[in-house]
Every structure is written in structure tokens, then in C-alpha cells.
Homo-oligomer: A and B are copies of this chain.
Amino acid sequence: MDKGMNSVREVAEAAKRDSFHLAAVSEDVRDDALRRVAIALDESHGAIIAENEKDLVAAHADDLPEPIVKRLKFGEDKIGDVIAGIHDLVHLPDPVGRTLSRRQLDEGLILEQITCPIGVIGVIFESRPDALVQIASLCIKSGNCAVLKGGSEAKHTNRILFEKIHAAGMSAGLPEGFLSLLESREEIAGLLGCHEYVDLVIPRGSNAFVRHIMNSSEIPVMGHADGVCHVYVDKAADIAKAVPIIRDSKVQYAAACNAVETVLVHSDVAESLLPPLEKELREREVVVRGTDRVAQIIAGVDAASEDDWTMEYLDFIVSVNIVDDLGEAIDHINTYGSHHTDCIITEDAVAAERFMELVDSAGVYQNCSTRFADGFRYGLGAEVGISTGKLHARGPVGLDGLTTYKYRLYGGGHIVADYAEGRRSFCFKELQ
């Protein structure tokens, strides 16, 4: 393990060193690297599938659960998808070198705020090999060095994907440290200790895993542990919209972080909403847990306790609570929710605005499914994750979340004493 720790430190230090150079690599070279990655993956798809087969055989031998095996499988269609994703990325505008502001401070003294890569990003993810390709591609496009640690159950697939992407990037002229792969679980702790070299850690995985990472690193962590999302059905709701939205928010992919866990219903519409909602959910085999007030309208629901309000079921279960006004719904969401994505069903624009202003979440929705909280569906191209933190990037995080900025100040011998002693004064003027 000592050896492992040392080698992680060396990997991170090399990535940091190369990150300064990668930050100065032109858009043309970065896009060329992405195209070469796409070609390399296409040309070696047979070898990739053969390596993936080894992981699948081992997964069956180890009796891994079926959902994990399913996510592990990386066949022709998945390879086609990631290649198409890379081509999409090439066509997105360069996130690096954008001018956020340009201001004249005085004659001949120009301040520019220009986007640049963050530096070195550590990404720790679980079984899906497509995540490796997506994350590596996003980091190439945004000029960041990436240190990746994938799930051990995907080790053969991850290794060949890493080798092909690394060789393709090098052939385009990227510095060697643009991409590194860690392969042992022990190396995670080593990586989290490299705060001098790693600027940001993005963990993708189970709640417990993400919370562990967040609590055990001095490095800033971007992501989310819990996704306790709500749909609130307001008294001015269109019930015909409410039922399909709640169904979609729950069953379209129940294990997703943006699936709904708690439905809040205004007492004025509880009697008209709950019976058809329960019928719809029962048909989809969703278990409903409700309070006593809910049970008075739809008999035979499982009892909900306060614990249910903070639970991310990630399963075909939904809790239901009745509230007497909008304010009570907002308080419930801000108190028990995870500040991920919450929706109001209402035809009342004033109520919708109030909900959107007062609910303290990354996504606040009116009349649509919480399942829309996703980088691709937001038009960001792809995402490295969804952040419930409020600093830097919030919600689905795409290329922009992988950049920071620098202030560049161009002068002609300007000194501060001239301003402090009244010989010159600032004339702030925004420039185009």
C-alpha cells in the first residue's frame, strides 16, 4: 500500500505539471485529439468487446447482481453511442479562453476575465465503462488533466479504453499526463490526499460512497450524495398533467438521483388527485407510503413516518404527504429535501414563481418531470455529474463547470501609488 500511495502521488504530481501545458494547448489540437480518440475506439471495437467479455465472465463468476452486469456490458451499440458523443463534443464551442468581462480601469490599463481549465480533476466512478470515455472526452475538450479510478469489476474494459484514448491523445500532441488511470481501491485514499496536485474530485456512485469521499478529502468535491426530489401538486394544479408527471418522475428510471421520492399534495385537490394517482402507480407496481390524512382518502397505503421524508428509495416506492398551503410545501422541501430537483404542478404563475424563488434547490420546475435534471437533456452536451453544492457549479455540470477563470491585467508601467496619492484616478469602463 505504501508503494501504491507513492505511485498515486507521482501520478498526481505529473498530472499537475502537465496541466499547465495542457491549459495552453489550442482548441484545434484538443478537437483533433477528440477526433483521434473516436477513430481509435472505432478501429479497436473488436478488441474492446473482447476485453469487456473478460469482465462479464468474471462478473458472472462472482455472481454480481444483474443491474451491475447490465451496466458493465459494453458492446457495439454502447461503443457507437460514445463515439457519437465525442463527435457532438467536438462541435460544441470551446469552453476555454472565453472572455467573461473586459474593463478599462484607466487609460492603457485593461482588465480581462478569461475562462481557463481548472487543472487536475480526479474522477472516481463505478461500473459503467462509458463513463470513462465521457469523462475523459469532457476533460480533453475543457483542457483538464484527468486522473480516473473506475470500478474494479470493469478493469479489463477500462484498461483498454484508457490505453486507446491515451495513445490517441498523445498522437495529437497532448502532454502525457492529460489522462491517468488508477486501478486499485487503495489508491483512492492516496488520490484524496494529493490536495497540492488535484484541484477537484468528482465522485460518481452510491450515496454512502459519495458521502465518504466528501467527508474524507481536503480537495473540493463536486457532486451529490442524495437525490430526495419532490413533486408538489398545488391547489391550482391540472390533475391531468399531475398524474403522468408523477408517474414519469418515479418509474421512468426509479434508481436515478432525479427520480421523485415524495409527493406533496394540497388538501384542496387531494380527493381528486390521490385516487387516480394511486391507481396509476399501483399498475406500475409502485408502493405508496402515506400519512394518516392520505390513508383517509386512499385506504390501505403503507404508513409513512418522518424518516420517509429524508429517504432516497431509489426504488418503486413513493411517500405522500398532504399540506394545507404552498408555504407548508416549500418548508417541507427545504427542511427534508436534498436541494436537487423539485417540481410544482400548478396553472397559477404567481404560485410557480413563489415556489421557484423560495425552494432552495439546483433545479426548480413547473409542470414537468424531475427526470429532466440531466446534462444531456439540459443541452449541455454531456455531464460529469450533478452538483447539489451551491458553490462553483450547481445542477447538471457540463463543460462550463470544468473551467474557472483568470484575471489578466495589461498595463504600461501603471503603479498603485499614483492612485493612492491622487495623481491618477480610475475610470471604470466596460469594454466589448
Contact = CB atoms under 8 A, between A and B. Distances in A.
A210 to B, nearest CB: 14
Size band of the interface chain A makes with B:
35 or more
Contact of A390 (B118, B245, B396, B408): B118
A371 B416 contact: yes
A252 B416 contact: yes
Interface string A418-430: 0110000010100
A209 interface: no
B24 A390 contact: no
A20 interface: yes
Given A245-B415, A365-B409, A372-B409, A358 B105 contact: no
A389 interface: yes
A363 interface: yes
A358 B407 contact: no
A267 B405 CA distance: 31
- Number of this chain's copies in the complex: 2
A413 B20 contact: no
23 contacts: A20-B334, A20-B359, A24-B354, A109-B368, A241-B412, A245-B414, A245-B415, A247-B415, A249-B415, A352-B410, A363-B408, A364-B408, A366-B411, A368-B412, A368-B415, A377-B419, A377-B426, A379-B428, A391-B391, A391-B404, A394-B405, A394-B407, A395-B406
A87 interface: no
A367 B414 CA distance: 7
Contacts of A372: 105, 109, 409, 411, 414, 416
A394 B404 contact: yes
B416 A248 contact: yes
Contacts of A172: none
A15 interface: no
Q: Is the interface of A mostly helix, strand, loop or mixed?
A: mixed
A40 interface: no
A118 to B, nearest CB: 5
A215 B215 contact: no
A298 B361 CA distance: 61
Interface in A361-387: 361-369, 371-373, 377-379
A124 interface: no
Contacts of A420: 252
A407 B378 contact: yes
A187 B69 CA distance: 51
Interface string A84-127: 00000000000000000001010001010000101100000000
Contact of A379 (B105, B248, B371, B410): B105
Given A199-B390, A377-B105, A367 B411 contact: yes
A2 interface: no
A277 to B, nearest CB: 14
Contacts of A111: 378-379
Nearest to A352: B410
A18 to B, nearest CB: 12
A202 to B, nearest CB: 12
A244 B413 contact: yes
A109 B354 CA distance: 19
Nearest to A357: B24
A269 interface: no
B220 A218 contact: no
A160 interface: no
B408 A356 contact: yes
Residue from A222, A396, A417, A420 whose CB has the most chain B CB atoms within 10 Å = A417
Interface in A285-343: 330, 334
Nearest to A390: B404
A394 B115 CA distance: 11
